[in-house]
Structure 1
């Protein structure tokens, strides 16, 4: 049995509007995860865990033609579970089906990253995993982040960060952003990443939030 952690970058028909909002399209969401799903037969059902100003996501659900039913289940003032049922495109459904064939299983949660990608772990035989990776359509980018490891889940909080968040933190560490006294600014990090200062600051803030939250999770 093998396990790999992969990142997918769906676009077009493979990325429904709801997905786009979860994966970086809604700045008011600090973190979004897909914790369970059922795509065996229509309608499709998902259970999300949202962190941030999640009440604003309700408007997206109300206005979406693909949503037939939903419910927000608050955990705290800034986190909730969101049940969603509706119709997704055949292309979007095929992405999930591609990773449920043969021996394959996806280990939840699926992390929705701010750059429009998703990262998660799959387990199964080496042949089935290779077939699934090879079966990802050309319109969807795929990166194998890690193979094997001591645990099925991410070995550390680093596994919860999006690729861009990891890049930002690694760059900040190299430049001395976290040194005391600080030797670099968010502007320096932005210059190194070739992005706007506000973008670099947002990557760092969300990464720091994920790290701090992990310290107090059961």
Structure 2
């Protein structure tokens, strides 16, 4: 058994409109697909981190999707969406079924990219990569033997969050006693203390949440 970490940036002109909303909207930090029902018209359950009211407003403008929202906590919202897949998404789902690979949840949407963990044997994984249609080319970020238990840190942190957490670690911010402050991290990042604090808090929350959600 092998598990692979892959990343794709689907052609926005060929994906359902909801993709750009959950993956690229400036008021959405990150979206995770936590469950799906792959019927002829797929239905997915997402956890969206971002502004709930702006999300609702934008959803109301979309065609080809049925949806409802449920609050989890401030800044986190369940989104259940029934989606008209269109040719590109339909081809991707067909390739997954044909290859026989397992898609490990959550699927992470952030900054226009989709990060996915896959489980199968080498032949199945290669078959899926070869079958991906134009407009959904995949980058293989890593492959290992054995079943995955937790997502890699790269899949749960944005680039800026990763830079902030890495910088804080290097400066001794997480040492006991602490060897650096928010101001030190901010200076190294070239941003304000409040911005550095926000990146650290969101990054730390994402790392902790990923451990509990996948334990």
Q: What TM-score results when the alignment is normalised by the length of structure 2?
A: 0.76
- Report the 3-state secondary structure (helix = DSSP H, G, I; strand = E; otherwise coil) of the residue aligned with 2:20: helix
Q: Structure 1, residues 112-166: CA drift from partner, whole Å, max 9, x if none? A: 12x2111121112211211211233453342222212654232565542245643
Alpha-carbon contact 1:71-1:83 (below 8 Å) kept: yes
In structure 2, C-alpha distance between the alignment counterparts of 1:40 and 1:177, rounded to whole Å: 50
Distance 2:83 2:211 in 1: 35
* Aligned match of 1:170: 166
Q: 1:185 to 1:62 in 2, by over 3 A?
A: same
Change (3 A) 1:155 1:64: closer
- Contact kept, 8 Å, 2:2 with 2:147, in 1: the verdict is no
Report the equivalent of 1:142: 138
Q: Which residue of 2 aligns with 1:49?
A: 47
Q: Does 1:35 align with 2:34?
A: yes
CA displacement 1:149-198 (0-9 Å, x = unmatched): 65423256554224564355435545x383723485446436xxxxxx58
Matched, 1:102 2:83: no
Extract unaligned runs of 5+ from structure 1: 191-196
User: Partners of 1:2 and 1:125 in 2: how far apart?
Assistant: 5
Tell me if 1:85 matches 2:82: yes
Q: Which residue of 2 aligns with 1:66?
A: 64
* Cα distance in 1 for residues equivalent to 2:85 and 2:34: 18
What pairs with 1:132-211 in structure 2 (closer than 5 Å)? Answer: 132-148=128-144, 151-154=147-150, 157=153, 159-162=155-158, 165-167=161-163, 169-170=165-166, 173-174=169-170, 176=171, 178=173, 180-182=179-181, 184-186=184-186, 188-189=188-189, 197=191, 201=196, 204=200, 206-211=202-207
Q: Which residue matches 1:2?
A: 2
Aligned twin of 2:20: 20
In structure 2, C-alpha distance between the alignment counterparts of 1:40 and 1:127, rounded to whole Å: 26
How high is the TM-score relative to the length of structure 1? Answer: 0.75
Q: Report how many aligned residue pairs link the two structures.
A: 206
Unmatched runs of 5 consecutive residues or more in structure 2 = none
Report if the CA contact (8 A) 1:8-1:141 is conserved.
yes
